[in-house]
Chains A and B, each alone.
Chain A
Amino acid sequence: MAEISIGQAEAFAEERVRLRSLAMTWSALLMLLLPILGLLGLFMRSYQTQALLEVVDVSWFYASMTLHGLGFVGLSYTVSFVAMLYVLSRHVSLNPRVIWVSTALTVLGVVLLVICFLMRFAPGWYFLYPLPFVSAGGWSSVATDLFLAAVAALGVAWLLWELELLRAIASRYSLSQALGWHYLRGSTTPELPPVVLVATVCAIAGIAALLAAVAMLIMMLVHRFTGNMVDPLVVKNLTFFFGHVLINLAMYHGIGFLYAVFPEYSGHAWKAAKPMIIAWNCVLFLVMFAYFHHLYMDFAQPRWVQTVGQIASYGTAIPAAVVTILGVLAQVYRRQVRWTLASALLFFGTMGWAVGGVAAVLDSTIAINFRFHNTLWVPAHFHTYLLVGIVLIMLGFVAHLTHEISGRIESPWMARAIVTLLLVGGYGFVMMFYLSGAYGVPRRYALYPPEVEVGTTLARVALVFVAMVALGLLLYLIEVGRRWFAAQAVLRSSPA
């Protein structure tokens, strides 16, 4: 079932060229948007040091928090998705036109979100209902409407490319083959590339998450156009179904890319096996119920739902992380790994996912969450798997892509400097969040009251580490940015 003809192979090659151009576009978007979103983060941490208290109105803190959070989640999901598509196109035939339409709609959504930011739309990146409609004079109802339009544009864009991804996989594999169930029965024919397994799991979970977003949007529109109140608890469930799955998918996409690309650096094939199949099937069936851990504070949720949340959180995080971490360690242990900027970023990004994952699993434990939920511990864990996890993998993707196309490689000292700065700065930065959480410093506060003044001090220390991350990112942009232009020139001169 899984064989392809010569004609199909030629069509694949043509589509791969088009996807390469798409991947280059998304690389450029990443290099443009990442520093902007980072600057918003820098602004927020600076505000918490009280340095900007008299200079900038506090409403900009919350508007920044909204765009920074939404932007990072969206950017992580989209860039990692494209990274996964890029390597998936070696195995299945994707329609680049659909992906381009999704890209255009995504750009539309981003433009709308930026306009919302300029209108100081600030319900936080969870935009929990009914907050977008209850601004208390903070933003106009037009900003809320534009935000709903942005969510609609992004929802359609992403649903479209998830469906295309699944269609492409379905054209070569049956559902049971794509999920590797034949491996569980002892058969390894057809051979299943790990990226196909991950992509199938991600696409199904992604479609479910985007349908949750559709339901959430419909409820908000009902409120918007009829004035009728909708149950905030049901909307909160749908919001976190969408948001939690989406950010998990961002990481899984990155892992799919890692499975396909890291063997090129280690020289050792990474094949699907029973533990990997079991782990990813666990992810598929449990990731849609793990989000309940965001609602532990909602006492109206029945206790059994909270228990399901804790079990599902463990079930999604532990098997996949263990399989991947052991897998990547097996890839590097006693092997002649070709360490470059790309391979180092991919390796450390995966390790960052593991570190952030441990903190996330702790946070999904009801007894711990009860104490830490509204403290900076929570931003600490998600910044860990974002800043020193997903972001590193995305940067690794762009470094790999531009190297693959241009043939240019960075000097070893430059790679070392970039990786060291990003790692030391990144871990130092999140450590200040963890310490703040341990001291009980509340999250979502622009300024800290005297009772938790330690939060202000730790925010000041965090700025030192932010500077290191910024310097690392700057060096990366100079090095890989130049390579991107060289790759673009290669593509123009010889697209194939």
Chain B
Amino acid sequence: MTQVLPDGLVAIVKRDCPTCEMVVPVLAELERAGATLTTFTQDDPAFPTGLKHVEDDTDLAFSWHNDIETVPTMLKVEGGTEVGRIVGWSREQWQTFTGFSTLGPDLPEMRPGCGSLSVDPNLTDILSVRFTGSTLNSRRIELGALEDDMEAAFDRGWSDGLPVVPPTEARVLRMLEGTTRSGDEIVAIVPPDLNAVTVEQVAINAVMAGCKPEYLPVVLAAVEAACSEAFNMHGLLATTYFSGPIVVVNGPIAARIGMESGRNVLGQGNRANSTIGRALQLVVRNLGGGRPGGVDMSLMGSPSKLGLAFAEREHDSPFEPLATEFGILAGTDAVTIYAGHGPTAIIDQISRSADSLVRTFAGALLNEGHSKLVIGFDAMLVVGPEHGRILKAAGWDKQKLRDELEPLLTRNSDDLVRGASGIEEGLPESFRGIELPKFRAGGLQIVHAGGDAGLFSALLGGWVGGSKGSIPVAQKIAP
């Protein structure tokens, strides 16, 4: 509720501020001199004494809605509109501002004042709920007095198996500070239940996942990308296969929010990496209704289905950023979402030439899923920095690596038909006599990530690729 501003001069003070105490005689002097003065008091309705118009602002509504950061603050109001504002005490400033040139001759020339109670860090949460909580549209759920907050989330089916942060109004309001987007804006239609979900609802799940507010734009972009037609989140969820949505982040936002692109990049220990992917999965679970045992029919799942997000190591990469392959300019904040799982290790501690290393990569890639199956399943090759350095020294960029991989990843179908190599799995007999690539066109993603030491790369196995399954999707991150 916004209060009408009283015309004339308006002072905001609190007793617990020596500067405010000091200026009380000046306020009285202004009244005596005929100024129209209204004084709002933040902490003690009986303070200051001796003034005609003192208003009780102990609920801090006036201070909150008028963005008071310092006491004393003096406003000048004309026709209900603020036309000027000074903060703290400065004799010269007060004299000019009020038009009374004799104010406070005995006071010190300048005092900075104190912090307004309306911005007291201990009160921020309470006040934001009091004054802006009504902007939240979600249903309030009062947990039982005897319930443990953490257990309550498990009991209601909101958790992926790990504890979640209880999404209180204060936490959700804080999370929403992380984006300029309005809380009621629709972000996506989330499968499998096809619910239209808002920024606020995503923020609730981001709180539960453990995100900081500055991660929210990344989570929102990931949700948008995951719910696109091309990515096919419904099918990915329903499959008996292992994969889930994997989020790769490009652009300066990764470093700004502290995402890991180096050591242990696919592992634990970095809050942004761990919680952004988890937030997306909680959105699918809680807002899309996709749960293991329900629409999620995965045979075994994968630890990466708890949520896997990481930043690409761009600063010394031999490759252009992943998102640029989907039409997004390098240097732009973007997520690319890929249907995969893993990782699987690729070891090569001996190769010092790109020609040798590419054969190691090809060997690992050919075995993805099954050595005799081709084209159906996608893959992501995560080149570690010590391997990346070898490629860079040889002058190989991503296109060169792809070109060199292509013949190595091409198979004679005679070796792939059912029964070949004594293995019944394989292609129908009718496929004999042709050359086939391991991956569909566009089915192999290549990124650069990992710590400084370790002559390894990694394979993130993928799900059915292309129009029959999932196509990776990039999405710019909006502030």
Q: Do A and B come from one complex?
A: no
